Amino acid sequence: MKTVNLKYPYGVARNGATATSDEAAHVEQMIEQLLFTAPGERVMRPTFGCGLRQLLFEPNGDILAAATQMAVQGSLQQWLGSRIDVIDVDIIATDSRLDVTVTYSLRRGDQSPRAAQFSRSL
């Protein structure tokens, strides 16, 4: 049976069906969901998410950056560890902007390193 990967954010394809994405794009979309979902935001998965939005309200420094990086890597391993191997996580918080780069490789298919970059103005 073929796995269907729903597109995030949800959309409708030209033929009127639910939009889908390939495996690589779907994994990147799952990473984005994990990064920007706050723990407790999902009713049936209260521990899902990283809570990066709260980072903007904390005093910036090396200790916060290291703790946040560890938390993100832990969440990625917990929730997506069966689909990716995390190589590196880089987080930069500036004013009301958050830039995140996750370097990873897929466990299935093309296992070459990939970098997913996300930015949010919060």
Q: Establish if 69 belongs to a structural domain.
A: yes
Q: Establish if 35 belongs to a structural domain.
A: yes
Q: Establish if 18 belongs to a structural domain.
A: no
State how many domains the chain has.
1
pLDDT of residue 60: 67
Residue bearing the bigger pLDDT, 55 or 116: 116
CATH number of the domain bearing residue 41: 3.10.450.40
Q: Is the pLDDT of residue 36 over 70?
A: yes
Tell me the three-class secondary structure of 52-113, residue by residue.
Answer: HHHHHHCCCCHHHHHHHHHHHHHHHHHHHCCCEEEEEEEEEEECCEEEEEEEEEECCCCCCC
Q: Establish if 3 belongs to a structural domain.
A: no
pLDDT tens-place string over residues 63-91: 777 778 888 899 999 999 999 999 999 98
- Mean pLDDT, the chain, whole residue set: 85
Q: Establish if 6 belongs to a structural domain.
A: no
Q: Which domain holds residue 79?
A: 23-121
pLDDT of residue 1: 58
Q: Establish if 72 belongs to a structural domain.
A: yes
The closest alpha carbon to 5, from 109, 119, 101, 100, belongs to: 109
> What pTM does this model have?
0.81
Q: Establish if 7 belongs to a structural domain.
A: no
